[in-house]
Amino acid sequence: MVRLAELVLRHKALVAVFWLVAMVAGGATAGLTTERLVVDFSLPGQSGYETEKQLVETYGGGPDEGTHVLAVTVPEGTTVDAERDAVDGVFRAHEREYPQYRMVWQGNSGSDSFVTDDGRTAYGIVVDEKFTSFDFVPAFRATLPLLEAQEAATGFDVRTTGYFELSEGNAESSEGGEPPSVLKETLFGALGALVVLLFVFASFLALVPLAIAAVSILSTFLCVLAVSTVTDVSFVVQFLIALVGLGLAIDYSLLIVTRWREEREHGRENGDAVIESMRTAGHAVVSSAGTVAISLLALVVVPVPFLRSMGFGGMLIPLVSMLVVLTLLPAMLGGIGPRVDWPRIRHESSASRAWTAWARGVARHRWVAAGVGMLLLVLLIAPVFDIKVGLPRTESLATQGPAVETLGDLRDGGVPAGVVTPLEVLVRGDDPVASADRVVDELASVDGVAFAVAPDDPAWQKDGTAVVHVVPERELVDIETSQVVERVQDVVLQIDGVEGVAGAGATVLDYTDAVFKRLPAVMALIALATFLLLVRTFRSLLLPLKAVLLNVLSVAATFGFVVLFWQYGNGSEAVFDIASTGAITFWLPVLIFAFLFGLSMDYEVFILSRMREEYDRTGSTRVAVTEGLGRTGRLVTSAALILLGAARLE
């Protein structure tokens, strides 16, 4: 690190020009980079996904691409049967004007299940086209002009609802919102970071970490562009670059800049202060970046392209941030550092009095502190054993708006809650229609299935195949409710010609099989690689082992808090006006573990590195703990606050 710092200081201008070119190139090609990112949630080899894939290839869409419910309510004093021709006209107009969407309703299924108990509302389920990008217009929004025209012409109440429509939140209309803006959210996160940095440095030096973050983010985009020419990279990576890139670049800058100020306060000449900060804090940055990169790279063992590409793309974030911080930052400090460190309101000549007092209290009452800490961890970890993976329930998606009211009216009319998460059974063979009819008959007695229909319609029978539409009694949004899919599979896969079952419930089972069976391997790989890296860093076996074990406990406690807050709803409604979700989105746990393990280890490395340095200097464990935490407590807290602010990007 000393040789690197000396090299950078000798060639400050060259280093600055190199990263300036990289930043400009990254900014100029950012649009091309985002265009090359792919929307791919495939699960190769999984039954539900493979069935959905065949449905999309043959019919242009499937239940996983999105469905919505079209409801037509006649005025009070009359019934659907009395207004049959006019009601059927609404559905037939929809089929005629939008042939790209498959729709099942009473007219093409012959099932009375598509009329509510009071006889005033008829409904149909519309299957969307394949989702391709954020510019994609879902069927419930694309068909809105026709539905408004039909409502005006007939005097009926024509409405839509569905899982994807509800997921837009408490919207008063179905016009939709803007696609997420990486630039806007990054600027928002940077503004929050600037507030924290101004508090930490109390000088114009607060702008330096933000400049480093800008270079890191745009340079990472340039690297992702290169990677995208070799392999697919998920569109989610762009948000991770903005979120994690902003947080990590500022975190690493904080560590080095704070140490640089400390060394200058102790009387070192500027160049020597840069070298010393690189020798100490720079070494910690390398270790921290290594732990984050390892955690993300471990995602490649999961057989899900979406997560694998995030592993490859995400790994670049800490590595590029590290390179920028270890080269451009010392060049800036060695050149303009003293001039921008004005006014020098806050000084680094001594450790934080508040954090030093806290460390002394912990050291003095270490058994009490350890007991209280372990008790809190146990209380937070306990809910983890009740974690459910899947999708949020509709109640947590929105609490008001037309879609909520429509779904409520349908349920009051006896429509099964599972209408928003239907299944589809694909049948292929010499006589697919006969096989489809048999599937309908067999599913009539399956526990958890409200009803099943095989529409007698060319849109549902193509190229030697037929589709059976299945409406479950409950929403199939988590591993518990999705067990009905297993019962459906046990029955229909015994019938000749049945290819498989697709739908939200099948996807939950697919992800559980593909991801969570590999999660122990991912966790073990991350923990082992991190342990070996820290052994090299601290020249110790006990310190890395302690760090890994405590990190696992802290990650488990975080998962427990997620279950308490979101799955149980203890706080989500009060803070965000979101009801309990009932489940954690199925792909989040493994992704959270990979990021969280690396980032939390980041802070532990910051603290332990300084403690180890103080121990080597004094030989006293008590002094090492007190001085180490006194020097890094405010730094780590500030870094966490910055990342918390940037987390709005998610």
Q: Please, which contacts does 559-564 make with residues 24 or more away whose CB atoms are closer than 8 Å?
A: 559/381, 559/384, 559/387, 559/589, 559/592, 559/593, 560/380, 560/381, 560/382, 560/383, 560/384, 561/380, 561/383, 562/592, 563/383, 563/384, 563/386, 563/387, 564/380, 564/383
Look at residue 430 in the predicted model and tell me its pLDDT.
87
Q: Tell me which residue of 74, 84, 138 sits closest to 106, measured CA to CA.
A: 84
Look at residue 649 in the predicted model and tell me its pLDDT.
46
Look at residue 180 in the predicted model and tell me its pLDDT.
57
Q: Tell me which residue of 576, 586, 632 sits closest to 608, measured CA to CA.
A: 632
pLDDT at 630 exceeding the cut of 90: yes
Contact 488, 562 (CB under 8 A): no
Tokens found for residue 123: 């409904």
Under the banding of pLDDT at 50, 70 and 90, the label for residue 650 is very low
**Which range, of 364-373, 425-434, 597-606, averages the lowest pLDDT?**
597-606
Task: Give dist(CA 564, CA 296) in Å, integer.
Answer: 26
Average pLDDT, integer, range 193-206: 90
Tokens found for residue 181: 């803006």
Under the banding of pLDDT at 50, 70 and 90, the label for residue 24 is very high
pLDDT at 173 exceeding the cut of 80: no
Contact 98, 89 (CB under 8 A): no
pLDDT at 135 exceeding the cut of 80: no
338-350 residue pLDDT tens: 999 988 777 777 8
479-535 residue pLDDT tens: 888 899 999 999 999 999 999 999 999 999 998 888 887 778 878 888 888 888 889
User: Which residues lie below 8 Å from residue 616, measured CB to CB, with a gap of 6+?
Assistant: none
Look at residue 294 in the predicted model and tell me its pLDDT.
86
Q: Average per-residue pLDDT in the chain? A: 90
Look at residue 513 in the predicted model and tell me its pLDDT.
86
Which of the listed ranges 312-321, 442-451, 515-524, 599-608 does the model predict with the highest average pLDDT?
Answer: 442-451
Selected residue with higher pLDDT from 167 and 98: 98
Look at residue 68 in the predicted model and tell me its pLDDT.
96
Average pLDDT, integer, range 384-404: 89
Average pLDDT, integer, range 570-597: 83
Under the banding of pLDDT at 50, 70 and 90, the label for residue 574 is confident
Percent above pLDDT 90 for the chain: 62
Percent above pLDDT 70 for the chain: 97
User: Which residues lie below 8 Å from residue 456, measured CB to CB, with a gap of 6+?
Assistant: 108, 109, 110
Q: Tell me which residue of 226, 223, 205 sits closest to 215, measured CA to CA.
A: 223
